[in-house]
């Protein structure tokens, strides 16, 4: 969130930030109100649907970094929001693929 844009700027890149999309949340998310929470998750396309959705992964604790391994996106839970319900729109940042 902080280092990547700085390094990319020093390298002369024009795209500093990760690409963002608005997707539908696939399950409820809880957050600490008063701060921006970045929720690790996956992009999923339910059977029979043409719409990509954001599925938050279990193990969101900073003490459980293994969930980042399975993540391909970070969902933004805005400041002041303590819960978002499945079906709501969420802004996600697409993580680069290795």
* Predicted TM-score of the model (pTM): 0.84
67 in Cβ contact with 59 (< 8 Å): yes
pLDDT in tens, 40-68: 999 998 888 888 999 999 888 777 777 78
3-state secondary structure of 6: helix
What is the pLDDT at residue 49? 80
Tell me the C-alpha distance between 43 and 98, whole Å: 16
> Residues of the chain with pLDDT > 70: what percent?
99
What is the pLDDT at residue 98? 64
């Amino acid at each position: 969130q902080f280092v990547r844009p700085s390094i990319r700027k020093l390298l002369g890149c024009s795209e500093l930030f990760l690409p963002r999309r608005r997707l539908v949340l696939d399950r409820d998310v809880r957050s600490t109100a008063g701060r921006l929470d970045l929720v690790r998750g996956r992009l999923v396309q339910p059977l029979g649907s043409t719409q990509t959705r954001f599925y938050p992964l279990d193990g969101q604790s900073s003490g459980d970094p293994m969930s980042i391994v399975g993540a391909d996106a970070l969902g933004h839970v805005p400041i002041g929001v303590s819960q978002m319900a499945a079906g709501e729109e969420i802004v996600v940042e697409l993580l680069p693929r290795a």
